[in-house]
Amino acid sequence: MLTSATTIAGLAPMLFETSFQAQVLIPMAASLSFGLLFGTVLVLFLVPTFYLLLARMFVETDLDDVPSARSEDQPLIPTINHPDAPIAPATS
């Protein structure tokens, strides 16, 4: 994403140039800039969205039926009081 942004920013001055020599290069700069912009948007937003939609269409999972990996009496974060927890040396 950073490479696309810097390339588009580097081509921007060429897009706004009005000299006669730049008139030949402006179509190239425009196609590169908008191609990179379109490709970046496509990869960052549309591909994950389509992947999510296809996954929802073809994968039927009811989350209520999935067993939990954690029992109800087990804490989310392990505590130091756990019998298997290593004992840290005392510092003074």
Which residue, 25, 4, 3, is CA-closest to 14? 25
Model confidence, pTM? 0.53
- Residue pair 26/12 in contact (Cβ under 8 Å)? The answer is no
pLDDT per residue over 23-82, tens digit each? 899 999 999 999 999 999 999 999 889 888 888 887 766 555 555 555 566 555 555 555
- Residue pair 8/37 in contact (Cβ under 8 Å)? The answer is yes
Cα separations (Å) of 14 from 3, 18, 78, 79, 88? 18, 9, 58, 60, 63
What is the reported pLDDT for 35?
Answer: 95
CB atoms near residue 90 (< 10 Å): 5
